[in-house]
Chain A
Amino acid sequence: MTNANFIGKTLVDWLENHHSKPVIVTEMASISELANALLVMNKRDAYVVNKANRVIGHISFAKVANQLLSEHRSTHTHRQLFARVVEPTAKELMDPHFTSAYKDELLCDVIHRQLDHGLDDLIVLTRDTHEALGVIQMNDILAESL
C-alpha cells in the first residue's frame, strides 16, 4: 500500500511537477548514437521520431546493448547475424507497437500500463500529432508513493 494519491491527476498535471525529457532519436540514428543518447541521459527507453516529429517507435536499453555487444554472444539466429553485419538503424530496430499515454489521461489509469510493459519511461503524447511532451518516470512514481 502506498501513501500517494494519484486519483484525479492528469498526466499534464504530473509533468508540471515531474518533468522529464524523453530520449528522442531520428529514424536513421545508428546503434552507437542510440547507446550514447541513452547513456548521456541515463535512461532505459528511447523513442524514435519521423521527419514530422511524430513518435513512431520505441527501443529499449536491453535491445541496444544486445545489438551493440552482439560480438560477445556465441550463438546467433540468422536475423541477429544479418543485423550484426549491416548495423541496423533506429527505424529497423524499433518496435512500432509501443506503449504510450496521452496528456489528458489520468495518471492512475496509466500506471498499470507502465508496470505491465516494464517501462522505466512512459512517453506522453499529444493526441493529434503524436509529438512527445515528456515521459512519466517510474522512479518518480515510486518515490511519490513512499
Chain B
Amino acid sequence: MHYTPLLILGLLLVSGLLLGLVASRLKVPRIAAYALAGLIWSQDLLGGYFGFDISTWSPLLTNLALAIIAYTIGGSITLEQIGRLGKTITLCTLGESLGAVILVTLAVFIYQPESNGPIWILALSLGALAATTDPAVTVAVIHQYRAKGPVTSTLMGVAALDDVFGIILFSLMFVVVTGTSLSDAVVGSAIEIIGAVGLGIVIGSLLAYFGNKVRNRRFFLPMVLSALMLSQGLAELIHVSPLLTAMTIGFTARSVYQSGGDRLFAPVEFLEELVFIIFFTLAGAYFNLSVLAQGVDLVLIYVFARVAGKMLGIKLMTRFTDAPKVVAQYLGYGVIPQAGIAIGLSLSLMQNLAFKDISLLVVNTILASTLLYEMIGPFATRYALTKAKEVQS
C-alpha cells in the first residue's frame, strides 16, 4: 500500500498534538511528547512496519518551518534595541555562543567518534548547533519563581539573542562545508552571505512596503508566507543561504515597517507551536536505535562540551563588563536548555549531499541531547536563580 506524505504528516501531527495535550495535563515537557509521537512512527517501530518514507518530502517542510522561525527571530529586535541591550548581554551572548561552538567542535574532533562520514564535518555541524538555547524553559522558570534581578534580566536577553547568533553561525558553517575547496569556501561563503543579506533586504523592504499599503489584516499572514516561500526558492536558485535570507527579511521588514511588528509578525508567531510539533515529530520519526547506540558517547560529549563552553564563555566575557559577580558565577547554568531551533537546524542537514553520511547521526544526537537538556535545564536555571538570590517565591 502506498502511504501519501499528507497521510504520514497527518499521523505525525495528530499523534504529536494528542501526546502534547496529555503531557501538558501531566506537566511534563511537551517537546518530549512530540518527539515520542514521532518515535512511534520511526523506522524501528510503526514507520518501519508500514513502510513510511519521510525522507522525500520532509526537507521541504523543514525548510519552510525553519524559514518561519528565522523570520520571526530576525524581526524580534530592531537595531536601536540591540544598542540598548547593553554590553553585558551582548558580550555574554557572544561568549557563551562561541564558547559552546568552539568547545563542542574541538571535543568531537579530538574524540574522533565512530562515524560514517568525515569527522571534521561532524564536528563543525554539532559545534554550530551548540549555540542556541531554549528561551521557553528560561521564561517558564523565571515566571514560576517570580525571579527578578541582574541574573534574571541578563539571562532573558542572552537566551533570546543567542538564537540570532546560532542561526548566523549555523549558516556560516553550512556555506563553508558545502564549498568545494578552502579558497572556494572562503570566497563562496562571502558571496552566499552577502547575497542572502541583499536578497533579504530587498524582499523585506518589499514586504514592509506592501505592509504599509495593505489595511486588511487578513492579508498579512498570506503576505508573509508568500514572501518567505518566494525568498527560499530564490535563495536556492541563486545559491545563497536561505536561513540568513529569511532572518534578514524579518529584520528589514521590522525596521522599515517601523512598529512593534504586530501586523507583520504576530500572525506568524501563532505558527510557532505548529513549527515545533513538526520539528520534534519529524526528528522522532528519524530516530534510529542503531545510530543512537553508535553515538551514545557522542551525545555525552556534546552535552558536556556545550555546557562547559557556555559556562567558560560567560566567565571569560564578564571580565570585560561591569556585570555583578553573580552574573559571572551563575548565568551559565541558565543557558543550558536547548530545544526546537537546534532540532530544526539539524533536520535541515538531511537534504544536503555534503552531510549525507553524518546527518542521521547528528539528528539523533541532537534529539537525545535535547531530551536530556529538557530534563536538567529547568533545574539548572532554578539553581542559578536561587543561588543568585533572585527567586521571590
Contacts and interface: CB of A to CB of B under 8 A. Distances in A.
Interface of A: 57, 63, 71-79, 81-86, 88, 91-97
A81 B160 contact: yes
Interface of B: 72-73, 75-78, 80-81, 84-85, 89, 135-136, 139-140, 142-144, 146, 148, 153, 156-157, 159-161, 163, 212, 215, 257-263, 265, 269, 272
Contacts of A72: 143
A82 B160 contact: yes
Chain B facing A: main interface SS = helix
A84 B156 contact: yes
Nearest to B214: A97
A95 B262 contact: yes
A63 B136 CA distance: 21
Contacts of B157: 81-82, 85
Given A81-B156, A96-B258, A76 B81 contact: no
A79 B72 contact: yes
Contact of A77 (B85, B153, B259, B272): B272
Contacts of A88: 81, 260
A75 B72 contact: no
A86 B143 contact: no
B143 A94 contact: no
Most-contacted residue by chain B among A71, A77, A83, A96 (CB, 10 A): A77
Given A71-B148, A74-B144, A96-B212, 14 more contacts: A63-B262, A71-B143, A73-B139, A77-B269, A78-B73, A79-B76, A81-B76, A81-B160, A85-B153, A85-B157, A85-B160, A86-B81, A88-B260, A94-B259
Given A79-B269, A81-B159, A81-B160, A74 B262 contact: no
20 contacts: A63-B262, A71-B142, A74-B139, A76-B139, A77-B269, A78-B72, A79-B75, A79-B76, A79-B265, A82-B161, A83-B260, A84-B156, A85-B153, A85-B156, A85-B157, A91-B258, A92-B78, A92-B259, A95-B260, A96-B259
A83 to B, nearest CB: 7
B76 A77 contact: yes
Chain A facing B: main interface SS = helix
B183 to A, nearest CB: 37
Given A85-B85, A85-B89, A88-B260, A97 B156 contact: no
B76 A97 contact: no
Contact of B76 (A63, A73, A82, A95): A82
A95 B72 contact: no
Contacts of A77: 72, 76, 269, 272
A94 B142 CA distance: 27
Contacts of B261: 79
User: Which 8 residue pairs are nearest across A and B when measured between Cβ atoms?
Assistant: A78-B76, A79-B76, A81-B160, A74-B143, A85-B157, A82-B77, A86-B81, A86-B84
Contact of A92 (B75, B76, B146, B260): B260
Contact of B135 (A76, A83, A94): A76
A86 B80 CA distance: 10
B263 A97 contact: yes
Contact of B139 (A75, A92, A94, A95): A75
B77 A93 contact: no
B140 A75 contact: yes
Given A81-B156, A82-B81, A92-B81, A74 B259 contact: no
A72 B147 CA distance: 11
B91 to A, nearest CB: 15
A76 B155 CA distance: 14
Given A78-B135, A97-B215, A57 B259 contact: yes
Most-contacted residue by chain A among B75, B136, B148, B257 (CB, 10 A): B136
Contacts of B272: 77
Contacts of A83: 260
A82 B251 CA distance: 13
A52 B212 CA distance: 22
B260 A74 contact: no
Contacts of B135: 76, 78, 81
A79 B212 CA distance: 20
Nearest to B211: A97
Most-contacted residue by chain B among A79, A95, A96 (CB, 10 A): A79
Contacts of B215: 97
Contacts of B85: 82, 85-86
Nearest to A84: B156
B169 to A, nearest CB: 17
